[in-house]
Copies of this chain bind each other. A is one copy, B any other.
Amino acid sequence: MNQSIIVVKLGGTDGVDFSAICKDAAELLKQNIQLVLVHGGSAEANSLGEALGAPPKFITSPSGYTSRYTDRKTLEIFVMAVNGKINTLLVEQLQMLGINALGLSGLDGKLMQATRKDSIQSIENGKRKIIRDDYTGKIECVNTELLQTLLAGGYLPVIAPMAVSEKGEALNVDGDRAAAMVSSALKAEALILLTAVPGLI
Residue numbers of A with Cβ under 8 A of B are 48, 51-52, 76, 79-85, 88-89, 91-92, 94-98, 100-105, 107-110, 145-146, 149-150, 153, 155, 162, 164, 167-170
User: Which residue among A85, A95, A98, A104 has the maximum number of chain B CB atoms within 10 Å of its CB?
Assistant: A95
CB-based nearest B residue for A146: B153
Counted per complex, copies of this chain come to 2
A97 to B48, CA, bound (A): 30
A153 to B105, CA, bound (A): 17
Which of the residues B79, B82, B98, B149 comes within 8 Å of A149, measured between beta carbons? B149
Let me know if A164 and B84 touch, CB within 8 A: no
A117 to B103, CA, bound (A): 25
Let me know if B92 and A88 touch, CB within 8 A: no
Which of the residues B88, B94, B97, B100 comes within 8 Å of A79, measured between beta carbons? B88
Let me know if A76 and B80 touch, CB within 8 A: no
Let me know if A89 and B79 touch, CB within 8 A: yes
Let me know if A107 and B80 touch, CB within 8 A: no
CB-based nearest B residue for A84: B84
Additional A-B contacts beyond A94-B168, A96-B167 (19; CB < 8 A):
A51-B51, A52-B52, A83-B83, A83-B84, A84-B85, A84-B88, A88-B107, A88-B170, A91-B108, A92-B164, A95-B110, A95-B164, A100-B109, A101-B107, A102-B109, A103-B105, A103-B108, A109-B153, A109-B155
